[in-house]
Structure 1
Amino acid sequence: MAPSPVTCRPSAARHRPLLLRAPAPRSADGAALGLALPLRRREALVLATARPHERWIAADPWASARAWTSLGRGRCAAAGQVAGRSSAGVGRSAGMEVAIAAAAVVAMGTGNRVLYKLALVPLRQYPFFLAQFATFGYVVVYFSILYLRYQAGIVTDEMLSLPQKPFLAVGLLEAFGAAAGMAAGAVLSGASIPILSQTYLVWQLILSAIFLKRRYRINEVAGCFLVAIGVIITVASGSGTSASFKSTGILWPLLMIISFFLQAADTVLKEIIFIDASKKLKCGSVDLFVVNSYGSAYQALFMCLLLPFLSKLWGVPFHVLPTYIKDGAACFLNMGSISGCEGAPLLPLLFVLVNMGYNISLLHLLKMSSAVISSLASTFSVPLSIYAFTLPLPYIGVASSLPPGFVVGAAVLTAGLLLYSLPQAQHYGNSFHNKND
């Protein structure tokens, strides 16, 4: 059949020029939006059904046509991201998504603490090698994942072109935080470090209030302090920690507290990066592997500069560092004539993989909630890891017993979490987290 001639009614021609209509955008199920409607009503329907960040496309038919037909890598892949969010959010509230992400952080954090202890069984003479292997190995792994996500169109050129100064600051804070923690950890007892780490949550509350202008209710602040008190009761019960603090003096505990301040500042800075990126990028927030990759690269750079200082802290003179790394690699692979490396490379590799999963899950929770929520989830893994060491784990030997105050401390910690989270379950949109204020 021959195509119908294009006609225009005289009344319409007198009042407005002939319009060339762009193809109507298609919905997720493939049906054209408003196919049989007049132009004005069709535009209104598209604007009404579009999500807020899609309305700039729907308002202009030509922009709509360009956005739906463009295939260049530099474009914002909004359609794919919106489809992903809508499919993930079917039947699940935002609060449930945060709860699932927090549960993943708790599980990964517990496994991370347990596997670190197991990994040091074969590498008991080479802990500095394990730390450096993890630091520089993550750069390779994160950038490999970033490259694959870039090829898949998940990471865009716009994300990669974000200013580098915030990522440089992230790497600097992480490197100096690790250096201060290593220096103090070489002197302090193992039981005192988890107690001092509870200042991390306090620093996050203070820094979030200052730099993110976040205001916390009295029950939220009280809940955070109950969590910290619960961990202190759990760890300190029967460990002789007070005697340990008296023997080390005030300098090394203070340096450890400074270390946790730097780590808290790093976490809050990452949250600021996510918030700023959501305002600058048309395709939403920056991919978390961009933050992980750039931050890890700059951290590795500063760790290289601090290597002579760090090696001395671990009791490895800088001039023998090449030999130490060579022997550590041989023990890591369980090769050569070095004895006492049973369990390698399985246990160290498991630790590296779980530690990487822990960092990714922690950053994912930070991206969708806040620094304080991610810290609370991470803190909950402390009593769980203490309980895990009472189980018959391989290579550990005799299982440890639970501290006398374990149940009391765990109960206080759980009460603090409930006190913090229950009001936000009722008023999630207003009090839980407002990233774009």
Structure 2
Amino acid sequence: MTSSTSELTHVSRLPGVAFILKKALISALVALVLFSLMVGIRTEAGPTGQLIYWTRFDDLAILVLIVFVGSIVIELFRQWWGPAGTTRSVPQPLQTALDFAGRAIPPLLLIFTFLVPVIFYNQRYILDLGILVLTYVMLGWGLNVVVGLAGLLDLGYVAFYAVGAYSYALLSTNLGLSFWTCLPLAGILAALWGVMLGFPVLRLRGDYLAIVTLAFGEIIRLVIINWQSLTGGPNGISAIPRPSFFGIPLTAGEDGLAARLGIEFSPTHRIVFLFYVILALALLTNWVTIRLRRLPIGRAWEALREDEVACRALGINTTTTKLTAFATGAMFGGFAGAFFATRQGFISPESFTFQESALVLAIVVLGGMGSQLGVALAALTLIGGFELFRGFDQYRMLVFGMAMVLLMIWRPRGLVGYRAPTVFLKRSEAISSELAREGRG
């Protein structure tokens, strides 16, 4: 009787059909006003200087209809999910399936990633896209150390990406060093710049920290543009050497890897090799990050993220904690930059703009700050998923923005907002039972 009464009370509190339709109409009206000039009417300057315009009212009507229907669906979902932030209990079989899926996704995703070059060997576009996604996964995991674990908002992460790329390009072209020799050097130089950034921002927090890191990224970009004698300026650096397989070049000559293995040479061999190189670098970044989280420095990062004042009160040296976070994240960014340089064979300042920092930060935030799996899924979604909209150039960024807004409404803590604690009480049950006995006594 009590359960039926509560159900009736719950149903009586739900908004009616008129309320849902009114809310959907208001949302559609707002969409109509916003999209009228963005989509409905397009203008451009004609050859004689006069203004030319054309209309796309059919596309505008489709977008407004999508907003109208979407508003109704969201409101119905909220009613089903429960009022005032309460949620309905999930059935046990469904909860078990969700838990199993959460445990099965990481190994399945890793196995599929290993098999991508085998499955899509003859599809160059998918291989190149996979390399791009893995590059952003590595960048996301590197920035996740600074933003997700240490709680330091960094808007200039692209600076370390650029330092790693230009370090490898300059060392390889001027000194003739190989990729495997320049790779650790690029990471060390990027980590050094991370420490240089960390010193001025030791006492800054929040918005002030974000502004300084943003300025740091712009300073690095402007230095690259204006120091033409070293970096080539706007012309960039070309003819960057490709990596080799333990000293064996991946070329069509007699000393190439294909000739030594006795197989027919194919340009795809180099793409597959680069795919596994960036995969190994990304897995190394993931492994080091997970190991660091379990060490005292990782716990210090998380304490700093939660409350810096309490962190100081516990006796933690916040200076070294911040500097190690900046240096570690910068080192991984330098590794990714070195790979980017050898992958492209040409770099220029246009590849290291603020938009790259914003994209990597969006990957970290949407994936769930501090979550390794969430960052990987967010990179796959934002980089790989939105390639499906490449043919819709006029709507691509619109869909991108709408998807981020919806995701923040649906999952405000990111795709994988839950993070397993790094410290456990091994005798929690025994301690609780002892305390219960003491209370009874």
| TM-score tier (shorter) | under 0.3
- Structure-1-length-normalised TM-score: 0.25
Larger relative contact order (CA 8 Å, sep ≥ 6): 1
- Structure-2-length-normalised TM-score: 0.25
